[in-house]
């Protein structure tokens, strides 16, 4: 993990303040020996050199292994490498990366490659940390994938609000241009940083001149296009892993993590911990170990796993490995790589009501579940959380969640319902007391999760940002 001197500011990428924003901080290299339980792959060059420039990157990882001009077997070999590695997307959906590559490789004309570093999840900072400390690894992965699929161009998508902080990425691109490293130019663009604007269909809609809102797709296998030209969207962390697999091979990549979910991943830890920030962990590491490394400052009653559209996991299940199959067995998922520790003194229902209100405001407003369902669910949960709901509030809440789940034009309403249902299950004792008009003292606790959100749904905000 990225460490800081004792008593210093939060680790880079630590969500901080009531808005869940990410403060700019100065990283201090943690020189403690790495173990198999705490591998450093994506952040290895940073640990060894404390620098993010091209020279430091190549001193650790070597030069970019781009194919020769006449190496026509390269696309198939890269797809096979990624397939054999078992790499799944690190953006939240966990879609097999090789399937995306294989579909894009046969597309005609050649696709546009979109690097998704939007990170609209307020509790996540992994992509920001990766671009700040290992930008060349992401850019290497983008060049390799672009070469394999015959991409006509590469666009790096960062939230509009974060473009002033993209100078490090631009400096990395300037270094690569001067060193003639890249075969394809990379353009940085800034879609509006709404919660759902990083969903891949929303990103492609914006790139094509439309609004940064999801479009209906019955299946993720449905091709995304801009004026009939296919678009391949990959998360920034996923591309960084591709760069490592191309250099070190499949056995190396699969040496850590469970057989069905190999490799490492970046996880953003926050909440009631002394050292919030981004950790690189082996998939399969117990949730309790990840939280423990962040040094809890109070007893943890539950952890929000996956992000704001994720799932509450009670303290008794924190030995569960952080890996897709293990989390699915308890009704959770890795999501955006987020872990938020909730202290015993806080009220889980109040915290969830804040998140439900935020998610309702961040909906695209394109269909009934988002436009009407989520605000109604948030209002009912708020009434329940504060103990002033009528006697039917719980039954009404359950009915509304059933009417919303699975019926939206995108998956945003499903995430909100999943969050609320998990809260009703994990904090069941509180639900009973609150429904009887006896809210717990924790409702007055300082907010652990208090996202700022965006005011209103004005159309221009979906195209140009604030």
Query: In whole angstroms, what is the distance from residue 82 CA to residue 86 CA?
Result: 7
pLDDT at site 24: 28
Q: Which CATH number is 348-447 given?
A: 1.20.1440.230
Q: How far apart are CA 211 and CA 224, in angstroms?
A: 15
From the CB of residue 228, how many other CB atoms can be counted at a distance below 10 Å? 6
Domain 44-253: top CATH class? alpha beta
- The pLDDT of residue 37: 44
With b for 16 or more beta-carbon neighbours within 10 A and e for fewer, the 278-310 pattern comes to: bbbbbbbbbbbbbbebbebeeebbbbbbbbbbb
- Please, are residues 128 and 85 in contact by the beta-carbon 8 Å criterion? no
10-residue averages of pLDDT along the chain (466 residues): 29 42 29 49 93 96 82 82 89 75 77 94 94 96 93 93 88 96 94 93 94 80 83 94 94 94 95 95 96 96 96 98 96 95 95 95 89 95 88 91 89 95 96 88 72 68 80
**DSSP-assigned states of every residue in 392-420:** THHHHHHHHHHHHTT-SSSSHHHHHHHHH
DSSP conformation class of 263: S
Residue 436 neighbours by CB distance under 10 Å:
10
Residues sharing a CB contact under 8 Å with residue 401, sequence separation 6 or more, in sequence order: 377, 417, 420, 421
The pLDDT value recorded for residue 210 is 94
- pLDDT on residue 454: 65
Give me the pLDDT at residue 441, please: 77
**CA–CA–CA angle 46, 52, 54 (5° rounding):** 120
Closest CA to 383 of 397, 402, 369: 397
Q: Is the dihedral of CA 32, 34, 37, 41 positive or negative?
A: positive
Q: What is the pTM of this model?
A: 0.90
Nearest residue to 237 via CA among 297, 284, 280: 280
Half-sphere exposure at residue 269, Cβ-oriented, CA atoms within 13 angstroms: 28
Ranges of CATH 1.20.1440.230 domains, the chain: 348-447
CATH 3.40.50.11540 in the chain is located at 44-253
CB of 442 closer than 8 Å to CB of 346 = yes
With a CB cutoff of 8 Å and minimum separation 6, the contacts of 64 are 140, 143, 144, 181, 182, 243
């Amino acid at each position: 993990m990225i460490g800081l001197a004792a008593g210093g500011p939060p680790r880079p990428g630590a969500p901080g303040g009531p808005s869940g924003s990410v403060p700019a901080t100065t990283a201090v290299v943690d020189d403690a020996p790495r173990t198999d339980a705490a591998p450093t792959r994506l952040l290895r060059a940073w640990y060894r050199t404390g620098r993010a420039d091209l020279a430091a990157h190549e001193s650790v990882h070597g030069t970019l292994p781009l194919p020769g001009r006449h190496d026509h077997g390269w696309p198939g070999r890269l797809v096979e490498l990624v397939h054999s590695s078992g790499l799944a997307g690190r953006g939240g959906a966990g879609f097999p990366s090789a399937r995306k590559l294989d579909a894009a490789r046969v597309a005609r004309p050649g696709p546009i490659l979109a690097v998704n570093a939007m990170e609209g999840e307020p509790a996540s900072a992994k992509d920001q940390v990766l671009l700040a400390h290992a930008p060349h690894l992401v850019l290497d992965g983008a060049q390799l994938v672009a070469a394999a699929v015959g991409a006509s161009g590469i666009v790096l998508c960062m939230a509009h609000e974060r473009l002033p902080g993209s100078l490090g990425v631009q400096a990395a691109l300037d270094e690569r241009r001067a060193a003639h490293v890249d075969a394809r130019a990379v353009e940085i663009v800034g879609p509006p940083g709404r919660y759902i604007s990083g969903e891949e269909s929303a990103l492609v809609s914006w790139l094509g001149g439309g609004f940064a809102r999801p479009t209906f797709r019955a299946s993720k296998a449905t091709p995304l296009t801009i004026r009939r030209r296919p678009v391949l969207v990959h998360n920034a962390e996923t591309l960084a892993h591709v760069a490592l697999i191309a250099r070190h091979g499949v056995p190396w990549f699969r040496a850590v993590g469970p057989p069905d979910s190999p490799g490492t991943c970046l996880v953003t830890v926050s909440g009631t911990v002394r050292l919030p920030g981004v950790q690189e962990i082996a998939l399969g590491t117990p949730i309790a170990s990840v939280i423990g490394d962040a040094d809890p400052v109070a007893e943890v009653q539950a952890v929000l796993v996956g992000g704001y559209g994720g799932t509450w996991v009670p303290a008794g299940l924190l030995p569960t490995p952080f890996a897709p199959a293990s989390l699915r067995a308890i009704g959770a998922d890795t999501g955006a790589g987020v872990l938020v520790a909730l202290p015993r003194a806080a009220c889980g229902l109040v915290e969830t009501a804040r998140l439900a209100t935020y998610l309702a405001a961040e909906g695209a407003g394109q269909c009934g579940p988002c436009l009407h369902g989520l605000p109604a669910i948030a209002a009912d949960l708020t009434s329940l959380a504060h103990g002033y709901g009528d006697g039917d509030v719980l039954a009404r809440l359950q009915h509304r969640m059933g009417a919303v789940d699975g019926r939206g034009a995108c998956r945003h309403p499903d995430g909100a319902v999943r969050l609320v249902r998990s809260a009703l299950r994990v904090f069941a004792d509180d639900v009973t007391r609150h429904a009887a008009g006896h809210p717990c003292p924790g409702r007055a606790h300082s907010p652990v999760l208090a996202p700022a959100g965006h005011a209103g749904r004005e159309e221009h905000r979906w195209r140009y940002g604030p």
